Structure 1
């Protein structure tokens, strides 16, 4: 007798006289109908028990959440909602299940409650769909880069540099917190620490990835990053995953081409391979939208948003042009923006980015050539001396999805920018070496993986698209 997954059984077109399946009980009705799910698909398979010939004590142990091993015959279903079902010939309850205490009952649960039970929340349809989509997205990302000649690089998680210059980093230390060694000035003496210097958890693998791009040509990172930002919003995590390609001999227009092609590929891959999960999440959102006031409802369904990105060419607009559009827009003139736009140099907010995408251009937008003073030190300075070769890609419903730039390849210019920001040269001597030995134009971008998962699934809280969210005052599981 062959062991099948639920997904395999539901795809069968022929009767099978003997099958085995293992999974967890979603519901058990009338001591006869078991809805079994093993995580391989959104859908359950119905297992029909002959309760007259089944031990009563065994039936009492078949409760929501119980793990079962079922043997039987796969036949055409007599009821509605499924093509096939299993006529059970043998059933085994694996382990124990307490129906009184099992928290994930067959009813609607709040997302807050499910976060408190994150170890069990993937037994619900919503979270099993989200995590299957997350898995498929991960595979699609690796496949895209592999198919396009990129090398996968594992950048350090423990680092002595701050790639973003943000300073909001988690310290890594073995020193005694109550009695650390001090230097002659009374400061903590990190030369006595495990690594002999001050170290932190990384906020980005970009700088290290640049070093490999300048020898291997095309590389990418896809790994965990950390930000010690004390923020409890629905869009911030303390631990998250970043995708960061870096390419030698590529300028800003090439970087835009790469990012657009990459995004369209992974979204199309999801449409082709996870349609059941997408359809379910779309219907969930449609039902949710019905409870909102008309003015707050989205004008695009989940799948329409994905196709909006896939089917449209991304509009490329300079920051300066975007500021002019926003300054003269009706929402700005009528003071409907929470953050009004007045002067050149403003840091754009999500409301501005969404206006450009959803109202003005009606397609995804790539903004480029940002003011230098609101962007990172490693971005290439333009000839005007006040803007840099930066780009942000804006999506509907979410705003910024990708941030990237052509990197500053000129040694003296990079030194000047570091000095202006008080970044010590000795801290990044190896990064400066890239500009001394075989320097060349090179570019890359960063994409927060959880933000992409939010866009694909329609989930509105970033804590619901990562298995175990890490946020201020929260490190459960």
Structure 2
């Protein structure tokens, strides 16, 4: 008999129907009158209980059914007599696909720390927490593609291997086929990358934005959604060496259009998760409530997970300039009482504590800041008429601070060339990017959203390593 996902059996299967489910054993307990096996197959956070009678199956078979083993269970679906589930399966047949030695299997039915689970990333998707996170991650990825498709965007695959540094930060992973134990050298004694596979130095990309702009200046509206890499030696809860970026680029969009798109986009994808991931979000909200109880009162969040998500979806985002935000921060009680860890003055790169104050305390709604000082923003952002600021925008969320960064792009060739030289980039290395400002230039804009940061916000997890299946961090690439 063909099997059915447990999610379907729990919600749609008819009572008295014969069903077959397959999955992994979460628990098995025995009493004088019955044997209870809880199964989960990943289709839902919930388990289904399969019930056998003592003596119904051979003892040797039942010994193989332990926590972590994989089985197929066939039987009649009946209303459950126990608390906690509406239906259960009265077993008629039981097949074991794979066993799990209970003395070695690390996921026994008890609470495990997230740190421990990172050490067994090959097994942690079997836990309630990580199966919920991964289902939500899938739903958000689907919602991203659906939103852009429904709004007339084209999905553009930009290079993973690149010779340009879009951010100008230099923290990139080198890609080479040269023998690093004995590399070829040029007359100056430096490594001769002309003999490398691509005939020049290449790296893993930190962003698809620059190539995305090329697509927008031909197709009108595009988006990228792919892996990006940054060789930043950081072990914080907010950094990964490999992560996924969503980067739309739109011809004929200016700053206001960009803000409108960003707000509508994040409301839409978060709304999709609220609608389609209710059970997983409810579980993660309860998990977060228990976690909050262990924190000091001043460290506890004022909003539950679902309240935080509704906070974004239900509010119009407040829009103000960077200069206006600095004035608000200078007049704030935390600044006047010296409670901010970082100083506030015009020209600083705002810290998370400043961003969160604006969102959570002052406006009590998501915030979009615009027109940042040119010195703290990337070379490709369009200069304002004052020459001091650029048409940048950052979207700020509760609990996390900046979640989206974007701008209207500089479409004036001479101004862009000046900025490229100012930040120390060789114009020849970006000749193709500069040429688009000479051949039919147009106003255009775009933004970037780190997908893991979005998943972090929606799931309420505290560490970005726990929202990607196999995190890549300094000294860690085991899986």
Structure-2-length-normalised TM-score: 0.98
Deviation at 1:2, TM superposition (A): 3.8
Deviation at 1:180, TM superposition (A): 1.3
Deviation at 1:184, TM superposition (A): 1.7
User: Distance between the aligned counterparts of 1:16 and 1:373, measured in 2?
Assistant: 70
User: Distance between the aligned counterparts of 1:179 and 1:52, measured in 2?
Assistant: 69
Equivalent of 2:349, from 340, 347, 352? 347
Q: Give the unaligned 5+ runs of structure 2.
A: none
> Is it true that 1:141 corresponds to 2:144 in the alignment?
yes
Computed over aligned residues only, the root mean square deviation of the Cα atoms, in angstroms, reads 0.8
| Counterpart position of 1:407 | 409
> Is it true that 1:10 corresponds to 2:10 in the alignment?
yes
| Counterpart position of 1:78 | 81
Deviation at 1:13, TM superposition (A): 5.8
Deviation at 1:95, TM superposition (A): 2.3
| Counterpart position of 2:22 | 22
| Counterpart position of 2:368 | 366
Q: Give the unaligned 5+ runs of structure 1.
A: none
| Counterpart position of 1:170 | 173
User: Distance between the aligned counterparts of 1:245 and 1:160, measured in 2?
Assistant: 21
Pairs aligned (count): 476
User: Distance between the aligned counterparts of 2:320 and 2:54, measured in 1?
Assistant: 67
Deviations 1:141-176 (A, max 9, x none): 000000000000110000000000000000001111
Q: Is the 8 A contact 2:352 2:401 kept in 1?
A: yes
| Counterpart position of 1:397 | 399
Deviation at 1:204, TM superposition (A): 0.1
| Counterpart position of 1:257 | 260
1:70 is paired with a residue whose SS is strand
Equivalent of 2:334, from 331, 334, 338? 331
1:184 is paired with a residue whose SS is coil
Q: Is the 8 A contact 1:2 1:18 kept in 2?
A: no
| Counterpart position of 1:476 | 478
2 and 176 in structure 1: CA distance in 2 versus 1, 3 angstrom threshold: closer
| Counterpart position of 1:100 | 103
Deviation at 1:96, TM superposition (A): 2.6
> Is it true that 1:38 corresponds to 2:41 in the alignment?
yes
Q: Is the 8 A contact 1:71 1:88 kept in 2?
A: yes
User: Distance between the aligned counterparts of 1:418 and 1:226, measured in 2?
Assistant: 22
2:27 is paired with a residue whose SS is strand
| Counterpart position of 2:128 | 125
Deviations 1:45-81 (A, max 9, x none): 0000112221111111110000001111011111111
> Is it true that 1:246 corresponds to 2:234 in the alignment?
no
User: Distance between the aligned counterparts of 2:214 and 2:13, measured in 1?
Assistant: 53
Deviation at 1:18, TM superposition (A): 1.4
Q: Is the 8 A contact 2:329 2:354 kept in 1?
A: yes
Q: How does 1:71-470 map to 2 (within 5 A)?
A: 71-341=74-344, 343-470=345-472
Runs of 4+ in 1 over 6 A off after TM superposition: none
Deviations 1:443-468 (A, max 9, x none): 00000000000000000100000000
User: Distance between the aligned counterparts of 2:17 and 2:415, measured in 1?
Assistant: 74
Q: Is the 8 A contact 2:65 2:99 kept in 1?
A: no
